[in-house]
Amino acid sequence: MKFWVGLPPLPADEGLKFAIRAEQVGFDGIAAADHATNPQVIDTPYPYAAGQGGKRFGKGKILNAPFVMIGAMAAATTTLRFTTVVLVVPLRHPILLAKEIATAARIAGGRMDLGVGIGWMREEFEALGIDPKTRARRMEEMLDIMQGLWRGEFVGSDTDLFDFAPNQVLPALDAPLPILMGGHQEAPLRRTAKMADGWVSAPCDYEEITRIVKLLGEYRREAGRDHLPFEVRMILSGRPDRAELDRLEEAGVTSVVVTPWIYTDQTESYTGLMDGLSRFGDTIQEWKA
């Protein structure tokens, strides 16, 4: 089992120190969240919290640009891996996004993968002038375009969503970038089975994870891809124990993303978050012993 920690909503300079400390205390990786904007009003229901209505980030909550942070964190560490949970791909243009990702990946030197999704918040798409109804198709087209660009190819597109002549984006990548997809419903799970190297959950329980791992196995067999390596990364919302982790591993979970602030009441305090990180790191060392 690999242990990832979510990057908390800290100013960028404090977030960098948090990542350095995460490596020191034994975490395997750090996961950066992504949203382009925090709308003043969110009416779109959050799909992973039934009955809770729109999910609000809270006034003033910081979400730094993920690939700026990943580049900085990678340059300041040597073993820590990096991911996004999850990158809202359809909010961007594929040429610009391919360049951002490739630059960060080169700095990370093979210590990076991508957690991607189509997004859920209508208001975020509307703020950027993008039709949210196209987001699934946008992501599929973008991933195809970006993978060609990452190989150093001249890539063009002539669809109704992206229409441009062949262009090259450098730096290219030396190896394919592992891609994990999010989403708990049938459509994103089938997309994951056909296109991705792994799946990343939203916070959920054991029953949900086992259901989805079983479905992914079926869909991957249908797609003829069940022989390939596959990552199952679960975001934990509570404080796990060794028995729970063993149970998850038996169910097919290969890595977990945890939140160190469950070890402290000082959830808004940099000092408190660093203390929680260290305490969780001590626990990880005990589990790995």
Which backbone phi and psi does 31 adopt, to 5 degrees? -115, 125
Instruction: Write out the chain's pLDDT in tens, 289 residues.
Output: 999 999 998 999 999 999 999 999 999 999 999 999 989 888 998 888 654 444 555 566 788 999 999 999 999 999 999 999 999 999 999 999 999 999 999 999 999 999 999 999 999 999 999 999 999 999 999 999 999 999 999 999 999 999 999 999 999 999 999 999 999 999 999 999 999 999 999 988 899 999 999 999 999 999 999 999 999 999 987 778 889 999 999 999 999 998 876 656 555 688 888 988 888 888 888 877 7
CB atoms inside a 10 Å sphere around CB 170: 10
| 3-class secondary structure, 123 | helix
Domain boundaries, the chain: 2-288
273 phi and psi angles, rounded to 5 deg: -65, -40
Give CA–CA dist 67/184, Å, rounded. Answer: 25
Phi, psi of 168 (to 5 degrees): -115, 140
Q: For residues 94 and 141, is the Cβ–Cβ distance under 8 A?
A: yes
d(Cα 283, Cα 289) in Å, to the nearest integer?
10
Measure the CA–CA gap between 157 and 136, rounded to whole angstroms: 17
Q: Which homologous superfamily does the CATH classification assign to the domain defined by 2-288?
A: Luciferase-like domain (3.20.20.30)
Helix, strand, coil percent content, the chain, rounded in steps of 5 = 45, 15, 40
Question: pTM of the full predicted structure?
Answer: 0.94
3 beta partners: 256
Q: Which CA distances in Å does 175 have to 51, 112, 140, 148?
A: 43, 11, 20, 12
Q: What are the structure tokens assigned to 221, written together?
A: 């067999």
Write out the two tokens for 165.
């002549």
